[in-house]
Amino acid sequence: MRHDHIISAKQLSRADIEAVLDHAADIAADPAAYADRHADTLLGMLFFEPSTRTKMSFTTAMKRLGGDIVDMGSVESSSVKKGESLADTVRVVEGYADALVLRHPMEGSAKMASEFVDVPLVNAGDGAGQHPTQTLLDLYTIRENAGFDDLTIGIMGDLKYGRTVHSLAHALTNVDAHQHFISPESLQLPRSVRYDLHQEGAEVREHTALEEILPELDVLYVTRIQRERFPDESEYRAVAGQYQIDTETLEAAKDDLTVMHPLPRVDEIAHDVDDTDYATYFEQAHNGVPVRMALLDLLLEAHQ
């Protein structure tokens, strides 16, 4: 893999993706072997909006590689409040760190910021844009649990606004998965995403009910349907209730179905699923560490 910055999962070829996942698997198999790999490395953390989970996961990844972080802290306490531009902020912080992680509410901000710095920059989410490390950890979890060969995956919930879902769908096309999208009509894939997927040669089918397709699935990826998307509470409840799963729902599934969720969940997956072999969402969250360790290691090695 040879990239200076990781801005979007789309920039990664299938070979790039396999390289990251293979390296992540090696790391997960023997993390102690990597404990001093980047002992004097500082990772600059620029989180312009809160994202505890992603921040903790990157922090853990860097520290598990022997390095450390330098954190900008919250925007409220930063120079941004004094009117500093993103370009200036990243150029200053570049002087403190050997690589940067950027989370920013504005789509395209990671790409723009990367043009001002010489150290590797990883996009940790830019508004409605990309969040490539989430996609990589999703792919890693899928590959470890179901494999990419002849993979049939269902993606359910809010497919309209979910950045996670759009990124994942593009990447799954890359590995020739059979993709099923399950959602209420009002939250179906945006036309533009559907169009792009078709252009890329994706095999895509859409459903409004999980039961139509559940028995065929190797992986069911559940996302949250947000209350704010609906004009009133009763409409939300009526719709959301149809896209919640519990152990009863899963009786119709294959025995080795893998259930994933990007978390946090609210009530899309009942707690009785947690103790079944289907439940892979906590493992999925934990996989963020070896995947981000792998990505940071590859970027830092390539940059030296």
Query: Known binding site for carbamoyl phosphate: residues?
Result: 53-54, 103, 131, 134, 263-264
The distance of closest approach from Cβ of residue 302 to its own copies in the complex, given in angstroms and rounded to an integer, is 20
Q: Smallest distance from the beta carbon of 71 to its own copies, in angstroms? A: 8
Exactly one of 10, 37, 53, 91 is catalytic; name it. 53
Which residue type occupies 184? P
**Residue 160 CA: distances (Å) to CA of 163, 186, 192, 224, 238:** 8, 8, 10, 11, 18
Nearer to its own copies, 29 or 32 (CB): 32
Note the residue count of the chain: 304
**Residue whose CB is less far from its own copies, 59 or 114:** 59
What gap in Å lies between CA 71 and CA 109, rounded to an integer?
19
Q: Give the footprint of its own copies on this chain (CB under 8 A).
A: 32, 35, 39-40, 42, 44, 50-53, 55-57, 59-60, 63-64, 68, 70-74, 76-79, 82-84, 87-89, 91-97, 263-266, 271, 282-283, 285-286, 288-289
Task: Tell me how far, at minimum, the Cβ of 266 lies from its own copies, in Å.
Answer: 5
d(CA 114, CA 119): 9
Q: Indicate the residue among 72 and 250 with the shorter CB distance to its own copies.
A: 72
Judge whether 81 counts as a catalytic residue. no
Radius of gyration of the chain (CA): 19
Active-site annotation holds for 191:
no
Catalytic residue (choose from 38, 103, 104, 166): 103
Pick from 138, 131, 236, 123: nearest CA to 187: 236
Whether 256 contacts 292, CB under 8 Å:
no
* Two tokens, residue 159: 């497919």
Annotated catalytic residue 60: no
Find, among 204, 208, 203, 216, the residue nearest to 188 by Cα: 208
By CB neighbour count within 10 A (0-12 exposed, 13-18 middle, 19+ buried), where does 26 fall? Answer: middle
Give me the least distance between CB of 57 and its own copies, in Å please: 7
**How big is the CA angle at 228 (ends 224 and 232), to the nearest 5 degrees?**
115
Select 117 or 257, whichever has its Cβ closest to its own copies: 117
Name the residue nearer to its own copies (CB basis): 195 or 282.
282
Bridge partners, residue 259, by sequence: 220, 279
Q: Please name the residue that has the structure tokens 């959301």.
A: 240
For the CB of residue 122, give the shortest distance to its own copies in the complex, in Å.
Answer: 18
Catalytic residue status for 14: no
The residues annotated with a catalytic role in the active site are: 53-54, 82, 103, 131
